[in-house]
Amino acid sequence: MILIILGWVLFRSDTIGDAWTYLGAMFGFVQGSGVRNPLAIYLDNKAMVEIGAAIILAMPICPFLSILKNSIPAKIPHLLGSSLNAGAYLLRFLFIVAVVYADIISLAAGVYNPFIYFRF
């Protein structure tokens, strides 16, 4: 993996000198300041929402919801339990559709990023 990362530095840099400077910064051999690229540039509201959603969805909530979904129908009549089960599947489907829709909109609204090989 490190070879791939080092290879991408060569594609990113305009000159070999820039590549050496970039590699030096990656491995701590070049003095620099964090003022040039503060974290606030990259952490906008969209990124914070995405990071928050990733943290929540990375937690083991699916097993908990599965246990909850299986325990509710056992406590209520059969007809209502099957409709709750169908509702759970519908809610899961709608959640997946909403995430895919948000992903497509996010990709479509992205800034113009030309293909890397057009630079050469």
21 and 30 Cβ atoms separated by less than 8 Å: yes
pLDDT value of position 33: 60
pLDDT value of position 116: 61
Residues 99 and 43 in one domain: yes
| 80 within domain boundaries | yes
- Please state, in angstroms and as integers, the Cα–Cα distance from residue 49 to each residue in 11, 44, 52, 53, 69, following that order: 31, 9, 5, 6, 27
pLDDT value of position 78: 62
pLDDT value of position 113: 61
Residues 27 and 43 in one domain: no
Residues 54 and 7 in one domain: no
| 52 within domain boundaries | yes
Residues 17 and 71 in one domain: no
Residues 95 and 46 in one domain: yes
Give the C-alpha separation, 108 to 97, whole Å.
16
Residues 44 and 19 in one domain: no
- pLDDT by position in tens, the chain (length 120): 888 988 898 888 888 888 888 888 888 777 766 566 667 777 888 888 888 888 887 888 778 877 877 776 666 666 555 677 777 788 889 988 998 998 888 777 766 666 666 655
Q: How many separate domains does the chain show?
A: 2
Report the predicted TM-score, pTM, of the whole model to 2 decimal places. Answer: 0.41
Angle at 1 between CA 38 and CA 25, to 5 degrees: 35
